[in-house]
Structure 1
């Protein structure tokens, strides 16, 4: 549970960096300064939703799309990560994604960040 919460904090920091420094222009977060943790709470909330979606829906999508993953030598996982990011945006009104290209790049960046977080937290 502690590892999951630390991963949520790291993903929240990635969401913050992606939107504050306009790394992906189509990825926008509507900040809530009146929330419990201020604007940072918004990023933690989005990261928590993304983490839960990735933990619950992600394995099901990966299992169902296993033939496509094998056929494309794993490149279809990028599309799955984009779908998970899109599902996160659909579940919250605080995250907006402008297009499929932004979702694919955002999913790729978040997948790499999640992998780095897993590597750091497993030590």
Structure 2
């Protein structure tokens, strides 16, 4: 009998959410460090608030914005989703400023570049943390 590989055990849901929140916070920090048009001044926990706001904006606004811009996303082979990500990051900066967190983005180009960096860093860190499900291929040979 051939033993099938078992997928790695995933952490509990709350631990997974905290790990993703920390990863997003670190990704935003990297974007602030690299992109000259994105700035933050404040205590470290406020950067966590920005990450939480970004997650909430992505959950609440992204589906509607993606649905409305679906023809453009298809026409540009997905490149318009960079514009959607930049708009969501700008919206997050506006909400953070309204809440008294000093997180600012100076231009739309900075928002596009920042959203690309946040996406890439988040993807890499999620893979390293085991938060991205890896596909398992099982080949069975019938006799």
TM-score class, shorter-chain normalisation, is: 0.7 to 0.9
| Counterpart for residue 11 of structure 1 | 24
Q: TM-score by structure 1 length?
A: 0.83
| Counterpart for residue 139 of structure 2 | none
Considering fraction of residues, name the structure with more helix. 1
Structure 1 position 122 matched with structure 2 position 132: yes
Larger Rg: 2
Q: TM-score by structure 2 length?
A: 0.72
Q: In 2 relative to 1, CA 108–17 (structure 1 residues): closer, same or farther, beyond 3 Å? A: closer
Unaligned runs of 5+ in 2: 1-12, 134-143
CA distance in 2, matches of 1:117, 1:84: 21
The number of residues matched between the two structures is 114
Question: Could you say what secondary structure the match of 1:92 adopts?
Answer: helix
1:48-94 C-alpha deviation (Å, 9 max, x unpaired): 10011111111111111110000000000000000000000110122
**Over aligned residues, Cα RMSD in angstroms?**
1.7
